[in-house]
């Protein structure tokens, strides 16, 4: 069987196109082969599932390698003629690059399995999940986008009911995404981290958004030591000399600049290697990936062993998640990715800050979480007061963060890890924006929510999100 699988995978690789970067091609082809029964059912263009025992000559080398003598039903393999354009890292984000369906399928696979080697802090489904009511209507614009772009899922919730519900067709990307799929939130997870922080404050673990973070050994002798929590929640920690370029550019203490993703190592790695003896600059908006990780790990530190209890209360008891578990990612390393891979995560490692804002949930569970936020706001609960307080303490961006589309580029202000103040809308809007087009936008006064999962943000955001919220 190992020999057969090797032949199949080699055949797939040789049949693929050659471009600049194909580092995930082997995993992608293995994924196709592993899902051959679904591929046969879904009928995706340029992908064919063939029975070797029927198409190859009896007793030929390939027929024998497929063990056809012992397989009366046959042996199946996947062949494809996908035209994949490869990019360095991910699809080029310039607002101009045309992306075909084949390329989206490849990078959608990357999104689906990215970070799956990491451990998680997980909340299981609720015993009393929230059940949605539906009053569906057709939205032709959404229908068009989901059949022609990287859009995977679109949910519009109005006045207590789901009124638009579209999911990628089986012949596009259903092989990657269905109602149970835990899809990445990307930077939407920053806003969910803020929601967790609000619950920690309301639970008495942290005094307020104005609490000074002067009691945490992990950030001692760094620019973050002693700062008010709201500075971090507003991405205004005065760290612009060290962090920039979509939040990933770190300036080493010795002066050498290195492009480091803070989601690849624990906080201790950065606090000791990059921020030791650093000094705070002027407090102004500076979008960053490390700050939500600092906040989430601070909540863990202050929770006094109740972190899982806080998460269970939010996602299981309040939001009533149903379609799958939800989870935050957690690094297994205290200095280099993979050092502790496959080994137990000890308490001392947890105390070094391995939690990441990276969050995964299913499409309906994202909506359940967004609805819980909206309900808190409208019911003026303690957490609702927290959401209103961070909104009131929002700050101007002075610039757009990196990206050509989505709520993050549209909004003029930022408050508590939420994008706020959208042009032409004079009421509170809570915007969440994540890489590759993940979007949640809440209009609490009109009881309206839009939730989007996507492979790439080449869909018309203005038409299917902004205009829906604005009007």
**The pLDDT of residue 380 is above 60:** yes
**What is the predicted pLDDT for the residue at 334?**
42
pLDDT in tens, 246-259: 666 666 555 566 66
Q: Average of pLDDT values for 249-274?
A: 74
Q: Which of 23-32, 39-48, 67-76, 328-337 has the lowest mean pLDDT?
A: 328-337
Distance (Å, rounded) from C-alpha 381 to C-alpha 391? 15
Residue 406's pLDDT band (cuts 50, 70, 90): confident
Q: Which of 34-38, 246-250, 435-439, 465-469 has the lowest mean pLDDT?
A: 246-250
Token pair belonging to 277: 């003896």
Distance (Å, rounded) from C-alpha 361 to C-alpha 349? 25
**What is the predicted pLDDT for the residue at 242?**
87
- Calculate the alpha carbon distances from 337 to 118, 245, 360 in Å: 10, 22, 20
Q: Does 333 or 105 have the greater pLDDT score?
A: 105
β strands within 362-425, DSSP E: 395-396, 413-415, 418-420
**The pLDDT of residue 97 is above 90:** no
Q: Please give the helix or strand (H or E) that residue 302 lies within, else none.
A: helix 290-302
Distance (Å, rounded) from C-alpha 211 to C-alpha 224? 13
Q: Does 471 or 153 have the greater pLDDT score?
A: 153
Q: Average of pLDDT values for 321-332?
A: 90
Total residue count of the chain as it appears in this document: 471
Residue 24's pLDDT band (cuts 50, 70, 90): confident
**What is the predicted pLDDT for the residue at 252?**
58
pLDDT in tens, 278-310: 999 999 999 999 999 999 999 999 999 999 999
**What is the predicted pLDDT for the residue at 264?**
79
Q: Sign of the C-alpha dihedral, residues 399, 403, 405, 408?
A: negative
- Mean confidence (pLDDT) of the chain: 88
Phi/psi at 229 (nearest 5 deg)?
-55, -35
Q: Average of pLDDT values for 35-49?
A: 94
**What is the predicted pLDDT for the residue at 336?**
44
β strands within 370-447, DSSP E: 395-396, 413-415, 418-420, 430-434, 438-443
CB of 390 closer than 8 Å to CB of 163: no
Distance (Å, rounded) from C-alpha 48 to C-alpha 148? 21
pLDDT in tens, 106-143: 999 999 988 776 778 999 999 999 999 999 999 999 99
CB of 106 closer than 8 Å to CB of 455: no
Give all domains of the chain, ordered by start, each with its CATH number. 2-91 (no CATH), 119-203+298-470 (3.40.710.10)
- Calculate the alpha carbon distances from 328 to 6, 122, 184, 293, 295 in Å: 35, 7, 10, 11, 13
Torsion of CA 172, 175, 177, 178, to 10 degrees: 100
**What is the predicted pLDDT for the residue at 285?**
94
**What is the predicted pLDDT for the residue at 256?**
61
Rg, C-alpha atoms of the chain: 24
Residue 339's pLDDT band (cuts 50, 70, 90): very low
Percent of the chain with pLDDT over 90: 73
Q: Please give the helix or strand (H or E) that residue 409 lies within, else none.
A: helix 407-410
Q: Does 338 or 230 have the greater pLDDT score?
A: 230
């Amino acid at each position: 069987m190992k020999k057969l699988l090797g032949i199949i995978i080699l055949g797939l690789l040789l049949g693929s196109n050659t471009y600049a970067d194909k580092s995930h091609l082997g995993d992608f082809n293995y994924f196709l082969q592993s899902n051959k029964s679904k591929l046969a059912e879904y009928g995706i263009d340029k992908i064919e599932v063939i029975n070797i025992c029927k198409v190859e000559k009896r007793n030929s080398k390939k027929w024998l390698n497929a063990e056809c003598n012992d397989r009366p039903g046959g042996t199946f393999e996947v062949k494809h003629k996908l035209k994949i354009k490869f990019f360095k890292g991910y699809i080029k984000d310039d607002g101009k690059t045309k992306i075909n369906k084949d390329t989206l399928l490849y990078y959608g696979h990357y999104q689906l399995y990215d970070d799956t080697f990491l451990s998680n802090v997980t909340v299981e489904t609720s015993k009393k999940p929230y059940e949605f009511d539906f009053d569906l209507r057709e939205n032709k614009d959404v229908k068009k986008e989901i059949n022609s772009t990287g859009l995977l899922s679109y949910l519009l919730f109005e006045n207590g009911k789901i009124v638009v519900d579209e999911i990628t067709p089986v012949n596009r990307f259903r092989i990657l995404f269905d109602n149970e799929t835990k899809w990445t939130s990307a930077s939407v997870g920053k806003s969910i981290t803020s929601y967790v922080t609000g619950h920690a404050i309301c639970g008495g673990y942290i005094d307020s958004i104005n609490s000074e973070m002067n009691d945490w050994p992990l950030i001692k002798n760094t620019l973050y030591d002693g700062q008010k929590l709201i500075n971090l929640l507003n991405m205004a920690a005065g760290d612009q000399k060290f962090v920039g370029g979509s939040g990933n550019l770190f300036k080493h203490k010795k002066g050498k600049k290195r492009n480091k993703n803070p989601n690849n190592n624990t906080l201790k790695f950065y606090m000791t290697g990059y921020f030791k003896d650093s000094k705070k600059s002027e407090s102004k908006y500076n979008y960053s990936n490390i700050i939500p990780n600092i906040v989430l790990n601070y909540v863990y530190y202050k929770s006094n062993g109740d972190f899982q209890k806080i998460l269970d209360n939010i996602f299981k008891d309040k939001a009533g998640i149903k379609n799958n578990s939800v989870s935050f990612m957690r690094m297994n390393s205290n200095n280099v990715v993979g050092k502790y891979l496959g080994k137990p995560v000890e308490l001392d490692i947890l105390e070094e800050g391995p939690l990441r804002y990276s969050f995964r949930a299913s499409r309906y569970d994202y909506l359940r979480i967004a609805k819980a936020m909206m309900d808190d706001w409208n019911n003026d609960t303690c957490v609702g007061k927290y959401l209103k307080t961070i909104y009131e303490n929002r700050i101007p961006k002075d610039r757009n963060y990196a990206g050509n589309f989505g709520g993050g580029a549209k909004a003029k202000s930022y408050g508590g890890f939420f994008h706020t103040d959208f042009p032409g809308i004079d009421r509170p809007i809570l915007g969440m924006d994540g890489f590759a087009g993940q979007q949640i936008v809440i209009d609490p006064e009109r009881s309206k929510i839009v939730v989007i999962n996507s492979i790439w943000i080449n869909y018309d955001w203005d038409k299917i999100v902004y205009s829906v919220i604005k009007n």
